[in-house]
Structure formats: structure tokens, C-alpha cells
Amino acid sequence: MDVYQNAQFQPITLGSLLIELDFITVQDECVCQCYTYSCVTGIFFGNNQTCVLYSAYLWEGQLQLTTDNLTSVFTFPDSNTNNNSNNLPQIIEWLFDGDFNDVYNRYNGNPVANNAITWISPGYAGYGSAVYFQSTNYSLVNHYLNLTATSFTISAWIYMPFINTAPTWSYFYLLSHCQTVVQDKCLHVAVSKGKLLLGFCTDDLVGSTTINTNQWYHVAYTYNRSTSEQMVYLNGYLDGSRVSTGPYIGNPSVMIIGPLPYMSWVTDNNGYIDKIIFVPRIKSTDALLTEATLVAYYPFDNTYLDAGPNQINNLTTINTIFNSNGRFNQALVINSTNSSYLQTTGFYYLGKSNYTYSFSIWICPFTNNGTILQVSSPSGWCVPMIGFDTMGYLTIQTLGESGFYSTSFNNKTLPLNVWSHISMTYSISNGIRLFVNGSLVNKNNLVFDYLASDEMTTITIGTCLQPNQCGINATTIVLSQFQGQIDELKIFARELTNYEIHALASE
Ligand SMILES: [Ca+2]
Ligand SMILES: [Ca+2]
């Protein structure tokens, strides 16, 4: 068991919370309860004698420092790893931000035929870069990874400028772990003719969806050794599964990221690769959906940083502070009569027309006025999406081909100085829907499209910075300064379900 004093744990998956126990006076008692509930990671809050247990491993969340010296996190390393004398890493993470290094500095890659490697900026999350290989170059990871006795999940972000469907052998290789080109001894994580391919060599799973060109996708490949099941996931949703003919037994001494020089009969159909993550276990469907679609999560616990999977920390703040009386721990306070806001940049899918999105946010308004959340892009595209109308009613709004459209919670105004949970969802089938404290309160039944900027977008919390150009004579939301507290901002690249919103509002 590993113990971290003065620390808190924030899992990325909402579903990993097992139980919260009160009247636990010492850490050992909390650890005993962890055995009872089959937990993996727990937090003991000595000051309020609380024990919180999670099924998530430490690397499935954020470990945060706290000034409370009676708070500690304890965690049990992966049993799969512990029982395995192969000394498997708990995680390998290649970010491709200008190099092939593993974040944990163990499985660093080295470029081969470096002169033709292209770095594409920014990557999926609006910063850093992604890598593009020509057919003659690749990255060699000269470090042994024994996969002969483990399950695994490999995930990544990919973008294909061109999809070649003509030749029999047309591959975009992400990662290969290949001992010899013989069945079940050669692992390929790839895309073939636009479909995800988890290949063991003639014992392969091909996904069902053909991806589009010129779009980022989250892809995940899992192999469950105990059930022999291969699975592929596209943007967090299962896209294919099968039972493999044999177990995977390839045992090479190296791995390759990018094209395979020794497979001369393959036509390379490459794309951009960003952030490959390997773990020696199965990630749950819930965890993969979160990794793919929880775009950013700002808890505002004395920090502006994104606690979600993408670290979207390209932030600007003006006249904001933290208040200790947040909805959860601390909150962001926006309370200036001049200009007070937070801005964060790097939202790819909000720039894609008709692509689903959702926002989840807690607000404690001091006045029912102004713009709470606005989305904009570098070319001047700008849509206030959550705020108040001239009557002081909570309103959501978006842009379609025919202009702005909105819907309001016009039964009553939100109570002042009280926390309310607000959620906005968008999809081409349901249009925009507004939820207050977990309940659907209104939707727009007339318009359903979303006309986006086709650029990387910026979210501004607290005001509209372009009142002279942002929906003149068209906006229902008042383009002025909001005053109040904001907590737990979550941005999703999917339409949350009523059940999920109810759960977010009930936390
Ligand atoms: Ca990157
Ligand atoms: Ca908070």
C-alpha cells in the first residue's frame, strides 16, 4: 500500500466512487473499510473523520496537495501488475509534444529516418503537437514490454487527412509490438481503410465505423486475457468486439510507433497521432467514455487548472479570486463591476458544426444578470451560450444557419446567493436543452442545427468580451458582466443523458 500525506485524490470517472463513510477516526480503520468494499484508492479526512473509497487506481485521477495535514490518500497498486514478475509499467504515455518520450521516462522512443517526421501543432487539446510519419520513418522504443501474461488497453487521438481504401493492405499504424509475423505473435494497433484494427496477425478485430477525414478521433483498443475478448472503441463508444482465436503471445524486445519498415507489402496511409496511452489492464467503458468525451473539468479548488484528461490549461483570468465556500471545496468568484472573467482555449469539437456538446456548472449568482458562458473563435465567431435574458431568466442559446436561437427557464428566477446546478446539452436530434438542479426545464423545439466556426474555440466564463460584435440584435442573453460564484465546470463532447445530469446535480 502506498500512502500520500497532505493529499487528496480526484478520480476522472464519476462512477468510481464506492462509498463515503462517516465517524472513521483513524486512517487504519479507513484502510480496513477499503478491504470490505474492495476499494483501490481511499482518502481519509482526519479533520471531519470521513473515509471516501474509490474503485479507481491512482493514475485514473489527479493526486492533489492539500494544506490539511490530517488528510491522506492510500492506494493499492494494480494487482495485475503486482502478481506479474514481468515488472510491467502501470502506465506508458507518449504525448508527442515535439519528442517521442514517455511521460514517465521509461519507454522513450527514438526517431528512425528523422528527416521526414512532421510535427503538427497544436494537438487535439489546442497545445503541444501531434506527430505525422512518412512511410520510411518511425519511432523505435528500445525497451522491453512483456505482454505475454497481461490484459491491456491502448488509447490515442488520431486525425487522418486522407483515407486510402483501395489496396488490400492499407494501414495507418499507431503502435506495433511484433515478435514475428505469425498468428498471435505480432500486435498492431492500427486503422485500416478508415476502420479501427486491433491485429494479432491473422487473428484480428476490425471496427464497424469508417472514420471521416480531417477530424480528430479518440480511439481505444482493449484485450482481455481472461476472456480472450478484443474490443475497439471510437470516441468512447464500443465499435467492435470478438473473441481472439488464440491468446496474444508475441514477445519482442522493442516496440514501434508509426509505420513498419519490414512490412514492405503494406501501403502506408498515415495520419496524425497524439497522446498514446498504454495500461496493462482493461479500462472500463465508463473510463473510456470519460477519456474521450470529458473535454475539460475545472474544479476551481484554489486552482484554475483542468483536472480532466486533456489538461486544457491555456488560461487567462482577470479579476477573479477563489472563495472557500464553494459548492465543492473552493469556488471561482466573479464579482467585479468592471471586467471579471476566466478564459480557456483549446476546444476542438465546439468548433465542429452539429457536433454534440454539453456543459455542467454550479452557479451561485449575486445578481440574475449577464453572460455566464460564452464560446468564441479567433475569426470573431462568438456565441453567448449560458446567461440571463433581459427579464433575469436563466437562458441558453446557440447559433444555427438561420441565426441565434434560445430557450429560457421562465417559470421563476434563480434564487440569489444559493448554489444551483445548470446544464446545457446540444445534439442535432434534440437541439438545445436546459436543466436546472437535474431537471429538464425547457428546450427549443424549433431549431436543431449548430453552425460552428470550424476553428479551435475559446470558452469565456463571466462576461461577453465582444458586446459590440457578438449577436447584435440577435442575442437573447444579455451581453454584460455576470456576478457570482462558479464551481465544477465540466465541458463534454457529447450530449449528457437526463440520468447523468441528475447524477451531476445530486453530487
Ligand atoms: Ca501532444
Ligand atoms: Ca470547487
How far the first Cα of the chain sits from its last, in Å, is 28
Q: Same domain, yes or no, for 65 and 102?
A: no
The pLDDT value recorded for residue 84 is: 44
Cis peptide before 122 (omega within 30 of 0): yes
The pLDDT value recorded for residue 86 is: 60
> Tell me: the pLDDT tens digits for 394-418?
999 999 999 999 999 998 899 999 9
> Tell me: the pLDDT tens digits for 184-212?
999 999 999 999 999 999 999 999 999 99
Q: Which residues contact 425 (CB under 8 A, 6 or more apart)?
A: 356, 357, 358, 432, 433, 435, 495, 496, 501
pLDDT-derived band at 260, boundaries 50, 70, 90: confident
Query: Does 181 fall in a domain?
Result: yes
Distance (Å) from CA 332 to ligand 2 centroid: 8
Number of domains making up the chain: 3
Distance (Å) from CA 373 to ligand 2 centroid: 17
Query: Does 389 fall in a domain?
Result: yes
Q: Domain of 355?
A: 293-505
Q: Same domain, yes or no, for 262 and 408?
A: no
Query: Does 264 fall in a domain?
Result: yes
Cα-Cα-Cα-Cα torsion 284, 285, 288, 290, nearest 10 degrees, comes to -110
The pLDDT value recorded for residue 62 is: 78
Q: Which ligand ends up closest to the CA of 346? A: 1
Distance (Å) from CA 461 to ligand 1 centroid: 26
Distance (Å) from CA 473 to ligand 1 centroid: 41
Q: Which ligand ends up closest to the CA of 324? A: 2
CA dist., res. 187 & res. 497, Å (int): 36
Give the HSE-up count for residue 415: Cα atoms under 13 Å, Cβ half-sphere. 7
CA dist., res. 177 & res. 77, Å (int): 25
Which of 51, 77, 103 corresponds to the end of one domain? Answer: 77
Query: Does 101 fall in a domain?
Result: yes
Distance (Å) from CA 56 to ligand 1 centroid: 25
Q: Same domain, yes or no, for 210 and 275?
A: yes
> Tell me: the pLDDT tens digits for 291-347?
999 999 999 999 999 999 999 999 999 999 999 999 999 999 999 888 999 999 999
Q: For the ranges 27-41, 145-159, 291-305, 419-433, which has the lowest average pLDDT?
A: 27-41
Q: Same domain, yes or no, for 234 and 314?
A: no
Cα distances from 433 to residues 372, 399, 412, 486, in angstroms, run 16, 14, 17, 20
Query: Does 47 fall in a domain?
Result: yes
Q: Same domain, yes or no, for 10 and 55?
A: yes
Q: Which ligand ends up closest to the CA of 328? A: 2
Instruction: Please say whether the beta carbons of 7 and 71 come within 8 A.
Output: yes
Distance (Å) from CA 326 to ligand 2 centroid: 6
Distance (Å) from CA 170 to ligand 2 centroid: 48
Distance (Å) from CA 131 to ligand 1 centroid: 8
Q: Which ligand ends up closest to the CA of 275? A: 1
Q: Which residues surround ligand 2, an ion (CB under 5 A)?
A: 299-301, 326, 328-329, 487
Q: Same domain, yes or no, for 215 and 104?
A: yes
Q: Which ligand ends up closest to the CA of 100? A: 1
Query: Does 82 fall in a domain?
Result: no
Q: Same domain, yes or no, for 272 and 303?
A: no
Distance (Å) from CA 171 to ligand 1 centroid: 22
Q: Same domain, yes or no, for 485 and 362?
A: yes
The pLDDT value recorded for residue 87 is: 75
Q: Is the pLDDT of residue 18 over 50?
A: yes
Q: Which one-letter amino acid corresponds to residue 200? A: F
Distance (Å) from CA 250 to ligand 1 centroid: 28
Q: Which ligand ends up closest to the CA of 127? A: 1
502 φ, ψ (degrees, to nearest 5): -60, -45
Q: Same domain, yes or no, for 350 and 255?
A: no
Q: Which ligand ends up closest to the CA of 305? A: 2
Question: What CATH number does the domain containing 55 carry?
Answer: 3.50.4.10
CA dist., res. 388 & res. 407, Å (int): 11
Q: Which ligand ends up closest to the CA of 311? A: 1
State the average pLDDT for the chain: 93
C-alpha cell at 503: 447524477
Q: Is the pLDDT of residue 83 over 50?
A: no
Q: Which one-letter amino acid corresponds to residue 199? A: G
pLDDT-derived band at 13, boundaries 50, 70, 90: low
pLDDT-derived band at 14, boundaries 50, 70, 90: low
Q: Which ligand ends up closest to the CA of 301? A: 2
Distance (Å) from CA 272 to ligand 1 centroid: 10
Q: Same domain, yes or no, for 252 and 391?
A: no
Query: Does 176 fall in a domain?
Result: yes
Question: What CATH number does the domain containing 463 carry?
Answer: 2.60.120.200
Distance (Å) from CA 496 to ligand 1 centroid: 27
The pLDDT value recorded for residue 60 is: 72
- DSSP letters along 102-158, please? BTTSSS--EEESGGG-EEESS-TTSSS-EEE--TT-EEEE-S----TT--EEEEEEE
Query: Does 85 fall in a domain?
Result: no
CA dist., res. 129 & res. 110, Å (int): 17
Q: Same domain, yes or no, for 469 and 421?
A: yes
Q: Same domain, yes or no, for 446 and 400?
A: yes
CA dist., res. 351 & res. 332, Å (int): 26
Which of 77, 103, 130 corresponds to the end of one domain? Answer: 77
Distance (Å) from CA 94 to ligand 1 centroid: 8
